[in-house]
Chains A and B, each alone.
Chain A
Amino acid sequence: MSKLNLEEVEYIAKLSKLELSDTEKELYSKQLSSVLGYVDQLSEVNTKEIEPLANVTGLENVYREDGVVESDISHADIAKNAPEFKDGSFIVPGVFE
């Protein structure tokens, strides 16, 4: 479970939308395998009947009024950081090849 082979690293890189060089693939495969090997110790803990916890505050369903509010960020502000922005929209390349 813990040692990652080249194929698995390439698959994970694809999921992560990252393009890795061959050197990176080898290095990260080794480093990640070492970390994953360490965290395997969690299988020792008895978690029967225990619910997974995602939220330490215990808060649930924090609501606000469903209304439109003026934003203090303008299109001009957003355009400053956008690579391609026109008439209130981001310009993106085609989704398909």
Chain B
Amino acid sequence: MELNRLTIKEASEKLKNKEITSLELTEACLLEIEKQNPKIKAFITVLRKEALKVAQASDNRRKDGKTLSDIDGIPIAIKDNMCMAETKTTAGSKILADFVAPYDATVVKKLKEAGAVIVGKTNLDEFAMGSSTENSAMQKTSNPWDLARVPGGSSGGSAAAVASDQCLIALGTDTGGSIRQPASFCGVTGLKVSYGLVSRYGVMSYASSFDTIGPIAKSVEDVAIILNIMAGNDSMDSTTVKQNLPDYSKLLSKDIKGKKIGIPKEYYGEGLNPEVAKILEETKNKFVELGAIVEEVSLPLTQYAISTYYILVKSEASSNMARYDGIRYGHSILKSENVKTKSDTLDEVYLNSRSEGFGPEVKRSIMMGAHSLSSGYYDAYYKNAAKVRNKIKAEFENIFKEYDVLLTPVSPFPAFKLGEKLDDPLAMYLADVNTAPINVAGVPALSIPAGFTEAGLPVGAQIIGPMFGEEKVLNFGYAFQQKTDWHKKKPTIS
């Protein structure tokens, strides 16, 4: 079989047994990228030369018996909102189109120190704002299962790259569903970690109290392997977890017999696509087969979660986007060759650099945030949403006193067509209705392939767990993947 189709678990075994080399594995991925990138357009930057060098170094280390980790020599892709030293890092935006990051994000540093081979930077909605990757200023990424459809967003490039075996695993970010929803649309496994589990240092901020970094992988087993490397306290990010963390791989195969799964009825309402509903019903039955106790529960605040989410994230975003001012980095009219457009005042530098550099969704977001935070509106919008956030977090904490995990659809529908929701921002926002509540509460959630529609489109199931309960969601996901093979299906790319 082509080496790029392997999982991390399989590849690392073959590397250990000297059946394959990292160079062969990396070359297989780079060949696939060369073949697929013109069609799928998952990659903004391909790091061919660098990747081959790193792969060779990995093989040399292995020969000397100095292997660094379970992911030494494994080809990985990184969403382009994470700084990688001396590499173009664009955030999918014109305002950073030529930005070369001067340092590595902590997660990137950890992966490099573990010996991973970074093959490229993947496409995303501009500054992670979006649910389809269509807001990228660079290019439109296609879903490998149907090139006329979106891969989901904002980590669409990463999800599409893993689904089409252009790499073995990829990193994404999840602020309101941006790992889980593309994973669901592309038929791969994605984990939104508990807020604070993985350092955000060097990852371009969208909403600082919501942003998380996580893996998009071919299996839950692979998620656990990389999570062990990514998670943990970082002195450069004060919001990171203080406690000691378990070995996630070792806890995967615990028995789920007798464990309790809650089915929150608010996630299965009228707007749910009937084919998705049927697949979730079958998923529920599979868990019953595996011995879990499944019961219907209610989370009454669910209907308010998306509004809470959007007021807060857009407010935080408006603050985070203020750094793009054309003074220290990024697109600036100060660099303009045309003397006439060079401004005389500081204010004009801000206005023009930003207006030229930002796309429509970023502009809308900044404005919505500025409005929600402005005098006269702050109490009614931002402060009130922050109070509702408190209640939603408490509602989740409460339910997890009785239940180990919750099971819901990831998205109310499968991948929609490119262009379908571009003219209607509200409709696009409502795509996050099942994923955003989880970010409001800060808890972890796993998206696993659970089936396909009649038209052959992947559908993901979401397993939600308590704060820092990654081992629980991974446990349930692993059990499901031992008894099903949805996650092993591959697209035929036209």
B476 close to chain A: CB less than 8 A: no
> In the complex where A12-B374, A20-B363, A83-B335 touch, is A92 in contact with B327 (Cβ < 8 A)?
yes
Q: Which of B195, B318, B355 contacts A56 (CB 8 A)?
A: B195
Q: Mark A9-22, 1 if CB is under 8 A from B, else 0.
A: 10011011111100
A82 to B371 alpha-carbon distance, docked (Å) = 31
Please report the C-alpha to C-alpha distance between residue A97 and residue B330 in the assembled complex, in whole angstroms: 24
CA distance A17 to B327 in the complex (A): 14
Known: A39-B381, A47-B391, A93-B344. A28 touches B363 (CB 8 A): yes
Q: Which of A8, A51, A52, A80 has the most CB of B within 10 A?
A: A52
Stretch among B180-188, B218-226, B302-310, B455-463 lining the A interface: B302-310
Contact B442 A80 (CB under 8 A): no
Q: Considering only CB atoms and an 8 Å cut-off, how many residues of chain B contact the other chain? A: 71
A35–B361 CA distance with the chains assembled, in angstroms: 13
A43 touches B374 (CB 8 A): no
Interchain CB contact under 8 A, A57 and B239: yes
Residues B125-175 near A (CB distance < 8 A): none
Asked if A24 is at the interface (CB within 8 A of a chain B CB), the reply is yes
Shortest A21–chain B CB gap in Å is 9
B332 close to A (CB within 8 Å): yes
Q: Is the Cβ of A95 less than 8 Å from the Cβ of B389? A: no
| CB within 8 Å for A57 and B371 given contacts A24-B363, A35-B429 | no
Our pick among A20, A52, A95, A96 for the contact of B387 (Cβ within 8 Å) is A52
Number of A-B contacts (CB under 8 A): 170
Which residues of A sit under 8 angstroms from B325, Cβ to Cβ? 17
In the complex, how many angstroms separate the beta carbon of B349 from the nearest chain A beta carbon?
Answer: 6
Chain A residue with Cβ nearest B442: A56
| Contact segment of B38-46, B73-81, B97-105, B408-416 | B97-105
Q: Are B387 and A83 in contact (CB under 8 A)?
A: no
Residues B238 and A50 in contact, CB atoms below 8 Å apart: no
- Cα A51 to Cα B195 with chains together (Å): 20
A87 at the interface (CB under 8 A from B): no
- CB–CB A81/B390 < 8 A: no
Partner of A53, one of B350, B363, B393: B393
Instruction: Verify A16–B370 contact, CB threshold 8 A.
Output: yes
Which of B327, B381, B426 interacts with A90 by CB under 8 Å?
Answer: B327
Interface residues of A in 1-47 (CB under 8 A from B): 1, 4, 8-9, 12-13, 15-20, 24, 28, 31-32, 34-36, 38-39, 41-45, 47
> Is B367 part of the contact surface with A, judged by Cβ < 8 Å?
yes
Which of A12, A53, A59, A73 has most chain B Cβ within 10 Å? A53
**Bound Cα distance A47, B318 (Å):** 25
The answer to the question of B368 belonging to the interface, with a C-beta cut-off of 8 Å to chain A, is: yes
Q: What's the dominant secondary structure at chain B's contact region?
A: helix
Cβ–Cβ < 8 Å partners of A24 in chain B? 360, 363
Given A15-B374, A28-B363, A43-B346 contact (CB < 8 Å) = no
Is the pair B343, A93 in contact by a Cβ cutoff of 8 Å? yes
Interface residue B334 (Cβ < 8 Å from any Cβ of A)? yes
- B301 at interface by CB-CB < 8 Å: yes
Contact of B195 among A15, A18, A57, A95 (CB under 8 A): A57
Contact with A along B412-454 (1 / 0, CB 8 A): 0000000000000110010000000000011000000000000
- Would B390 and A51 count as touching, CB distance under 8 A? yes
Given contacts A32-B367, A44-B304, contact A97 B344 (CB under 8 A): yes
Binding site for B on A (CB under 8 A): 1, 4, 8-9, 12-13, 15-20, 24, 28, 31-32, 34-36, 38-39, 41-45, 47, 50-57, 59, 62, 64, 72-73, 77-78, 80-84, 90, 92-97
Beyond contacts A47-B387, A57-B241, A80-B100: 5 other A-B pairs, Cβ-Cβ < 8 A, are A17-B325, A42-B304, A42-B388, A81-B100, A92-B327
7 A-B interface contacts by CB (under 8 A): A1-B380, A16-B367, A17-B325, A17-B351, A34-B425, A50-B387, A62-B238
Residues of B within 8 A of A (CB): 99-100, 102-103, 195-196, 209, 235, 238-239, 241-242, 301, 303-304, 307-308, 310-311, 318, 322, 325-330, 332, 334-335, 343-352, 354-355, 358, 360, 363-364, 366-368, 370-371, 374, 377, 380-381, 383-391, 393, 425-426, 429, 441-442, 467
